[in-house]
Amino acid sequence: MAQIQLRGVQKTYDNKVQVIHGIDMQIADGEFIVIVGPSGCGKSTLLRMVAGLEKITGGEVAIGDRVVNQLEPKDRDIAMVFQNYALYPHMSVYANMAYGLKIRKLPKEEIDARVRKAAKMLELEKLLDRTPRQLSGGQRQRVAMGRALVREPSVFLFDEPLSNLDAKLRVQMRLEIKRLQRELAVTSVYVTHDQVEAMTLADRLIVMNAGSAEQIGTPMDVYERPASVFVAGFIGSPAMNFLAAKVGEDRQSVDLAGTGAQKVTLLLAKPTTATPGTPVALGVRPEHLLPLSDGPLEFDIDMAEPLGADTLLHGRFGAAGEPVTVREGGNVQVKAGEKRRFSVGTTRLHLFDSQTGKRIPDAA
């Protein structure tokens, strides 16, 4: 077991293209951290720097009480699970899981005990004599996890391990990974672009954007108090709605331009630090818009998207026709062009700076 410390970690290619812009974070012993973000944000590069597969060009990475910048991957006491499984096709499941231990010259009895223990945990006992081509995608991923498990490392690193699986298998393997991590209490860092995976697996999230840590926090902290428009739009499905607004004279309300000359005023739970009249982006999650016949927000509905338990309503707001999405429970019947009204609770409103995209804090 070990904690991980990232101290101003940077990555630059060819001494001019900086792709990681100084990440600072302390990961506690036994914590499950998920690095999430869109393609190209630097999340896999950051993970590979912890693993030793990418050179660190600035800052320090410490695992336990050792700075590991100059250590080879084999000397960092880590085990990594990759997206493509990386199994030896000519070896049996048993041999794949045992290979790393044989390289380390562990006694045969210990190798056998570790492999069979991991196989039991992952329900691979009946598959030990098969080769990878005789396994399903989910079984191959379990073998890859088993190969990491038998090493009994201080740190597990996962690089988008479920992206090659179908939706049902991803759910099953997500639960399996979370169960194992809790049972073993091994410090784990997991990279994904799937925000559902991130929310369900993580003790804390690192939301990456263009090589920077946009926000670090628990899944519910990030969901309920996103630090920026980027985080608010990335975490949550469907994404948060953003409407142009201005801060009211009392600083505890915002004004929106409705249809025609109509002005819509919404109250805030607390006064904002923004000055009256400041243009802001008002964020509202689709699930927090509630149908109400005399609600203050009137939307023109373009399309209903039934999902079974829920229905997504896609429409437009105000003279500018700003796009909005509403999540309603059940099978909602609407016609294209229909107008519907909604309300939203004061605590469900989020204000962001129109220029920087950063969250505007409440007044003390």
Residue range 79-136, pLDDT digits in tens:
999 888 788 999 999 999 999 899 989 999 999 999 999 999 888 999 999 999 999 8
Of 193, 227, 261, the last residue of a domain is: 227
Task: Let me know whether 223 and 248 are in one domain.
Answer: no
Provide the pLDDT confidence category of residue 327 given band limits of 50, 70 and 90.
Answer: very high
Q: Are 118 and 128 in contact (CB under 8 A)?
A: no
CATH value at residue 316 = 2.40.50.140
Asked if 37 and 139 sit in the same domain, the reply is yes
Q: Chain-centre distance of CA 273, in angstroms? A: 29
pLDDT digits (tens, 9 = 90+) for 341-354: 999 999 999 999 99
- Which residues does residue 187 pair with via DSSP β-bridges, in sequence order? 155
pLDDT tens column, 204-233? 999 999 999 999 999 999 999 999 999 999
Q: Are residues 213 and 288 in the same domain?
A: no
Q: What is the pLDDT of residues 231-253, one digit of tens each?
A: 999 999 899 999 999 999 999 99
Instruction: Classify residue 235: in a domain, yes or no.
Output: no
- Cβ-contact 83, 161 below 8 angstroms: yes
Which of the listed residues 227, 262, 284 is the one where a domain comes to its end? 227
Q: What is the largest CA-CA distance in the chain?
A: 81
Q: Do both 174 and 290 map to the same domain?
A: no
The reply to whether 212 and 307 lie within a common domain is: no
**Rounded Cα–Cα distance for residues 186 and 97 (Å):** 19
Residue 188 and residue 43 share a domain: yes
Residue 200 in any domain: the answer is yes
pTM for the full predicted model: 0.91
Residues 132, 246 within the same domain: no
Which of 227, 261, 279 marks a domain boundary?
Answer: 227
- Domain at 23, CATH number: 3.40.50.300
Does 258 share its domain with 323?
yes
- Number of domains within the chain: 2
- Domain of 305 in residue numbering reads as 241-353
Burial of 79 (0-12, 13-18, 19+ CB in 10 A): buried
